[in-house]
Structures are given as C-alpha cells and as structure tokens.
Structure 1
C-alpha cells in the first residue's frame, strides 16, 4: 500500500513562495482570512492534518490539540506563541515552532516610524490636507516635539528592543531600559543604555515609553491606570509587542484627559476589535498589526515556519530546527 502524503493546514493565505515550498512535499489546504479565528472551526477542521501552520490570531487551545488525531507540529507564523497551549502540545507529543529573529529589523524600522508619526502628527496633518483645509504654511500648524535629547524607555531589551534603541540613538535620544535581567555590558555600551530596576522608575523618567516585551501573566496589563499616572504629561507610549500588555480603557482615558500626550499602537487587547474610546482618543496613531509587514520579512517568517514543518514531518533530528520549542 502506497504511503499517504502528509497533509498541512495553513489557516490563512501566506506568501506564495512559502506555499509552493510546502506543496513540493505535502498536500496543502489554505483557509480563508479569519476562517480559523474561531476555536470550533479549528476543532472541526484539524482532525486529519499532520501539520498546522497558524497565525497568532488562531486559538490553538487544549480542545483543538486534543481533536487533532494525526498532528505532529504546530508552526506559528509569528515570533511568539502565546496563542498556543504549549504544555498540552508537549503532553501530546506535538512539536511547536515559532519564528524568532526574523522580525527584528522590520520591527525596529516600524517602531521608529510609529514614534515619528505620533510626535510629528503625520496622520492628523495628512487628513487636514486631504480634507482641503491646507491654505498655506502656518507657523503654529501641527507643532510636535523633537526627539534629540529625549529619553526612550524600553520595556523588554530583546532583539527588537535593541533594534529600536539603535535607531533612536541615531536620532540623538538617550536610552534607558527595564528587563527581567540586565543585558551584557557590551550591549549597554553600544547603546549607551542605562538599566532601570523597576518599570515604575522607567515610566517616571521616560519621554517615550516603548513596549517590546512578550505577553506573560506578569506583563498582562503592565501598562494600567497607575503606571500611566506616573508618566510625564508630555510623554508618548509606543506598543508593538502584544495588545493585552496595555489596559486599553485606561490608555484611552489617559489620552482623553491629557495624562499623557500621545500613543502609537499596533496591537490590541481584543484584536481585531479596538476599544471604542481608544478610537476617539486624541494624538493616537492606531495601525492594524503591521510592524513586520515587509515583503522580505513576511516571506522569511513563512519560510522558517514551513521548514520546521518539513523537518518534523520528514523525521529530521530536532537539532536541525533552531526554532522548535
């Protein structure tokens, strides 16, 4: 009897180069956008698949994993894996892969652009022009703040935090950071970065507070009403990490009541929903989770996830899969 070709479920369309690579080895089904954001849809679909390539928005819960009779690997199209019940996967002998290191440069660029958009009021000024209100140069029009000499406080000095810090240094900013542990003296020296032992102290002394930390039980609602009150009234919050790190209701209140001066947000607490008060908040740039959205990065993410699937289903040794958890 001929050996069956393994089946791979890709929950949403990804770059065609990645799909072509998978189709060289397997039978591949690609879901429609948003089709598998519902747990029940995944439970009903996953039964006979050998591998799952999923998005951060797909809930890979205990029920989903237990419904997968043939599943050998879940590969996340993301650097994190907080959407996957990793412990259940381990118990069931299902490998889990993510895509570390791939997003660093794209996210560093994006964070700098997001900060510029907030501090220089790009979106507000463009809308003003498009609505036909521009009648000439105005000495008091859309005044923002300069970055040189300001302090960027980074929460989470991993690869993306460091990439943002390098770019901010080029703009003349001072770097402070809070991390679970200090980075090496070499990294601190290269960034002229100062370690701050508590998030509260960092918030008090930062002109810009950037969130670059993973979502854990400890970081859930790390930015809340109390922390926002500690921030200077002229300060800016940047979040390209995970939505639930920020209490969106508290952030909207802080912006509307001028407790802080602005925010740039790319990820949301109940994504894709955005808190209705945040949608109306002043000087708040809201973007639809696009920090890694470059052709080069998205293809690289897909290829790393796809190669993990090929390696596992082909029975290669785990050491050949650097992104395997």
Structure 2
C-alpha cells in the first residue's frame, strides 16, 4: 500500500517550477491569488496540515502555535531568517523548523553594493531629475557624489552575506572592517583583508559606511540605537539589507534630518511595509521594497531547499536545514 502523502500548505505563491515539483511530491495547497494570509487563514492551516511553508510576512508566534493540530510536525520556512517564528515554542510542541540558509547571500551582497553606490553617488536624485525632464545639461559642479574607493566599510555581522559583501567591497577598493559575535578564523580574515573590532562602538565611530548584515534576534534588536547612531561621523552612510528591527528607524531618521548622518540605503524597515513618512521625504535616502534576495535564480533555489527539507523529513530523517533555538 502506498504511503500517504504529506499535507503541505504554502502561504504565498512560489516560482512555478517549485510549485509544480511540490504538487508531484506532496498533497499541497498553494496560495492563489498571491495575497498575505490573514491570522485566521494561518490558524486554519496549522490545524489541518502536516507541514506549513510560511515566509517572512507570516507571524508564527506562540499564540498561533497553540492552535496547531496534532498533524503539524514541520514548519519549512521559505527564507533564511526565522525571527517571525517562535522556534522555542515550536520545538516544545514537537514541531521542527527548517529554513533556507545561504541561498540569497550573493544576491543580497549585490544589493548592498547597489545601495552604497545609490546613496554615495546620488543615483535616485539623478534618475528623478531625468524622469521629470528637469535636466539642463552637464556642469562641473552638478550631481556631485563621492568616491567609494578608499572608504572604510564597517560590516555588522560577518556571516555568509557579510563575507560576500566584503569580497565585493574589496574589488571596489574599500577598506574592510567588521564586528561579529565571533571573530573569523585567521585564514578567512586574511583572505578578506578584514579588520576585526571587538567593540561595536569603536568601529562605527570610525567608519565611512556601515552595512547591517546580522540577523534580527532579541540581542540585535535596536543594535544601532540612538546612542550608537550618535557615534557615526556626519559623513557616514548606513545600509541595511538584513532586518529593519536592528536599527532604531526613528533615531536614524532624526539623525539624517539633522545632518548628523550623511544618508542611508534601506531595503528593510522596522515596521514592515509601514515606513516612517519623514524617511520617504529625504533625498539622501534610498528606499527599496525588500528586494535584496529577489532574483529568479535565488527564489527557485530557496524553493528547492524547502522541498529537500520536507522530503527528508517525510523519509524519516532530520531536515538538513533544521533550526534549533541554540542557533539563534
């Protein structure tokens, strides 16, 4: 007798090739149209499925997990970050959690460099002028930005993404500095020509550009708080492609408006898609809608990792990308 296929609920639309493969392997319920699930939708899903495939827009907290039915045994997150999932509560209820680490590192690092260039070279201002038909021709003092070669880049979080940023920034002639929970091995540090700072305060006070590449955890919430943002040089630029909660967004906005910070490039925001309206008004700020890992190739690879995690679990083994509370 054939083994009964796992019941899988996917909370958002995924690339067609990924959805097709899921339909071949599992009893899958796909999201159509591609809208965010309501709280009620999620509660209904966890009551009846074996596997939930959420993404960053879904809050899987203790209250929701309390409504889970006995069938739910795996939350196979579509994405690397799991700060929207209460991993400890899931584990206590016998529910495994997996993610898709490493897939978006190169794509996100590309976006870090795009944001650095966008802010320092004033690209959005130039684009807006061209699109509005206001450009009156070249002038020696027009649209002056800055040269990124030779600038000090302070990377906050030196995991896969941070290291990918370091490799790119070196090619642009930047000096690489970093602060991390643990210092890199000497050979990696040497290969990246990176200088380690044990003190975050001392590092950010000396940097020209700060790139936030650490995950959001209780210990990194508002890591760049009002006090630390005050330490930045007035010529410094802040770039964030990680999680918005790592920066005190209101304090950052105040600092830029006061001329205490030169600018910012943000792909993520403290309150999701609800962005401080004063931040939108600033010409020296580049805002993107969480596009850091948004490539066709990356999204398919993420889906493939989700499928491998589910299939491995279905075969009675530990998912290769299982997340445990001690990792966070």
TM-score, length of structure 1 as denominator length: 0.95
Post-superposition shift, 1:131?
0.2
Shift of 1:211: 0.5
* 1:141-220 aligned within 5 A: 141-220=142-221
**Aligned residue in 2 for 1:115:** 116
Residue of structure 2 equivalent to 1:53: 53
Q: Distance in 2 between matches of 1:255 and 1:191?
A: 31
User: 1:69-148, aligned counterparts within 5 Å?
Assistant: 69=69, 70-148=71-149
**Which residue number in structure 2 is paired with residue 292 of structure 1?**
293
- Unpaired runs of 5+ residues, structure 1, are none
Q: Tell me, in whole angstroms, the C-alpha distance in 2 between the residues paired with 1:230 and 1:218.
A: 20
Deviation at residue 312 of structure 1 after TM alignment: 1.3
Equivalent pairs counted in the alignment come to 321
Q: CA deviation at 1:256?
A: 0.9
Give SS of 2:256's match: helix
Q: Find the residue that maps to 1:47 and give its secondary structure.
A: helix
Q: Give the Cα–Cα distance (whole angstroms) in 2 for the partners of residues 157 and 44 of structure 1.
A: 39
Aligned to 1:30: 30
CA distance in structure 2 between the partners assigned to 1:136 and 1:229 by the alignment: 38
Name the CA distance, whole Å, in 1 between partners of 2:251 and 2:290.
20
* Secondary structure in 2 matching 1:24: helix
In structure 2, runs of 5+ residues without a counterpart are 324-328
Give the equivalent residue in structure 1 for 2:254: 253
Structure 1 vs Structure 2 CA RMSD: 1.4
Q: Deviations over 1:83-108 (max 9, x none)?
A: 11111111111111001111111111
**Secondary structure, in 3 states, of the residue corresponding to 1:9?**
strand
Alignment of 1:228-307 (within 5 A): 228-307=229-308
* Matched residue SS, 2:21: helix
* CA contact 2:125–2:283 (8 Å) conserved in 1: no
Runs of 4+ in 1 over 4 A off after TM superposition: 1-4
* Inter-partner Cα distance in structure 1 for 2:35 and 2:268: 17
In 1, Cα distance between the equivalents of 2:160 and 2:132? 40
Give the TM-score normalised by structure 2.
Answer: 0.94
